[in-house]
Structure 1
């Protein structure tokens, strides 16, 4: 089988890109041929496979007028549709597997596949298909104000990058795609990693006749040797408002246990200032770490905290933590509780600093139970998210649209 994988980035920028490349890895491992369709960038990864590319939009550059002008092709692009047609004619895929295609590629590439008679499945790793700003989070709290097609609320709230320009563009994009029946007509099957995102999509799309499926993320933990137990709590990831790292800092004032924070982002300076101003002595910021450096820190942690305020889908940080033998304290948001379950960590309300404080305190005071949770987490990843299981799931979904 030949599969054309379509995603806006062909470089590692987050969990969505990890998933995109992991799909390719597992397919190739099982003898299938893959090709990629993405945007141009000097940091793009050369996998040795056929790769087609188009120019990325320049909407973020220049003054307000140039931003508006450069945004004209983020809704629909005849040039990108043409390039997609060329890719299909050259590679002749049996199926197109799309990931994040909005703005950078636009649904015009899906239209090209549909006109060529090639089935399309789409993996949704965020909420762009139902929410103009991707997150169901307006910068302060969970938000579903756009449900029912009321996308103008994105403009009123300026919830896309806290910008009137981007929020207006996102709302207009949503209205255009709704009017053109993009989601009804151009995708043969939508795939979700979490039951939460699947059910939330059904809730928003109650009036649509859409084919749904589950495709959980693969994770190869064979390279990670588990180390059970450790001497501190750990957060690692982007330091942005929706990740809820400020909850960890506030909780630290109520406990006597060291916490290390790995990562960078726009909220880092403010959080450092809070720690210094309020004399919080048990929080240490380590900056951004990757690869072996991150693995070394993770191996020494007692547990990991995932305090997200938005409805995360299936965050890779939890897979990484379980692979390392670490239990997770996670927020009651999105697909996080599905991963942690009842015996691989603790769940808390991210709007309650006291709940997080109590969870950290319990983990630190019950190391034997925490170690057992870490063992169950490792077993969970090994047995549920291995390559064999993932391959069975993805082929079942592919066959369902191939007839």
Structure 2
């Protein structure tokens, strides 16, 4: 089988690119021919790089450049033509698309349809139903655009708190809705969480599109940490408002006997650092990766995921599980699907500081033996549910169903 994978970025910038490349790796390991389609990057040495279109980021350049770039942000004709050339030369049996909005754009799906190549689309966020892709802005959940009311994006300035970016995102949503580019061109939408699938049906109507489930591949061995009960609670990830780290800091303020370590970077780092300076039990230590992050995980008793937005399928939970750490997770999005799937942690109501404080105190009071037993369960779970063989079995089933 020949599979063409399409994603905005080839170089790894975050979890979305890891997903894109991991799917390719698993397919190649199982004997399939795989081609990848992305935007051009300086110095990129990819086999298909000659097909990649030059797509500047919308934010690059001055006002005139940004205005002139708006049509290609909504519907990139150059990307469509480049995709058509690659399809003609590679002759894929199926196209598997990932995050393509804003740069490659859904125009490339038109190229696949015109070549009679079926398409599956992995939805890692809510961009197909929400102009700002989060269903969240300015500290609150939001579904104001439901029913095609995309002007709400402009009224709310929900995209980077910018009128200009919100206006472009509003226009993008209206054009895609009018052209019906998603539902017309995608044979099957793939979701990692049932929450996102159900939310999509709320916006589009039950049964209007074909859906299936494909969890993100995860190399548990690469993130394995020897079991250790630990003596502090750990947050690691982006420091930005939708992650709810300020709620964690406030809960720590009320529980001075609980030590909390915050690892990460982002626009809220400075404010969180100032808050931590007033507390003896909270440390903001900046970003950490690889072995340094493993050391922070090894010393933790549990990991806290206090997200305020509807997280889809957060990698941080899988990393925590691989390190043998149970999770105190907010009851948002796909988080409960991971935390409740076995003895893997505890849930709390987002924004309920008192409930989070109680969970934190409970975890610190548990016997070390209980924490280690939960750690054994989390490591077993992530190794069994996210290994290559299981992910490939789902991929093969989905592709064959769509092609037939």
What TM-score does the superposition give when structure 1 sets the normalisation length? 0.96
Matched residue of 1:313: which SS? coil
SS in 1 for 2:358: helix
The number of equivalent residue pairs is 399
Deviation at 1:369, TM superposition (A): 2.5
Residues 272-311 of structure 1: CA deviation (Å, up to 9, x unaligned): 11222xx211111121111111112212211111111110
1:131 aligns with 2:121: no
Task: Give the structure 2 partner of residue 244 of structure 1.
Answer: 244
Structure 2 stretches of 5 or more lacking a match?
none
What is the alpha-carbon distance in structure 2 between the residues aligned to residue 339 and residue 207 of structure 1?
A: 24
Aligned to 1:304: 303
Match in the other structure for 1:180: 179
User: Which residue in the other structure is 1:9 paired with?
Assistant: 9
Superposition deviation, residue 378 in structure 1: 1.1
- Name the structure 2 match of 1:268: 269
- Residue 70 of structure 1 deviates from its aligned partner by 2.2
Q: CA deviation at 1:72?
A: 2.4
Kept in 1: contact 2:106–2:182 (CA 8 A):
no
Task: Name the structure 2 match of 1:34.
Answer: 34
2: distance between equivalents of 1:43 and 1:174? 33
Determine if contact 1:8/1:104 at 8 Å carries over to the other structure.
yes
Q: Which moved more, 1:386-395 or 1:221-230?
A: 221-230
In structure 2, what is the Cα distance between the partners aligned to 1:80 and 1:318? 35
Q: Displacement of 1:76 after TM fit? A: 0.8
SS at match of 1:130: coil
Corresponding residue for residue 18 of structure 1: 18
- Residues 97-118 of structure 1 show CA distances to partners (whole Å, capped at 9, x for unaligned) of 0001101111111100111111
**Structure 1 residue 225, shift from structure 2 partner:** 3.7
CA–CA distance in structure 2, aligned partners of residues 208 and 129 of structure 1? 16
Cα pair distance change 1:373/1:183, threshold 3 Å: same
Q: Deviations over 1:113-139 (max 9, x none)?
A: 111111100000000000000000022
Counterpart in the other structure of 1:120: 119
Alignment match, 2:232: 232
Residues 10-61 of structure 1 show CA distances to partners (whole Å, capped at 9, x for unaligned) of: 12222211111111111111111211111122485x5x65444222233202
After superposition, the C-alpha distances for 1:156-187 in whole angstroms (9 at most, x for unaligned) are: 00000100011111111111001001122111
CA distance in 1 between partners of 2:209 and 2:43 (Å): 36
- In 1, the alpha carbon distance for the partners of 2:34 and 2:280 equals 51
Q: Which residue of 2 aligns with 1:65?
A: 64
Give the structure 2 partner of residue 154 of structure 1: 153
Determine the structure 2 residue equivalent to 1:254. 254
- Aligned match of 1:317: 316
1:395 paired residue number? 396
Q: Give the Cα–Cα distance (whole angstroms) in 1 for the partners of residues 198 and 362 of structure 2.
A: 32
Q: Root-mean-square deviation (CA), in Å?
A: 1.5
Quote the residue 2:375 is aligned against: 374
1:92 matched residue in structure 2: 91
Q: CA deviation at 1:193?
A: 0.3
When normalised by structure 2's length, the TM-score is: 0.95
Q: CA deviation digits over 1:218-258, x for unaligned, max 9?
A: 11212324423112111111111111111111111112121
Secondary structure at the residue paired with 2:38?
strand
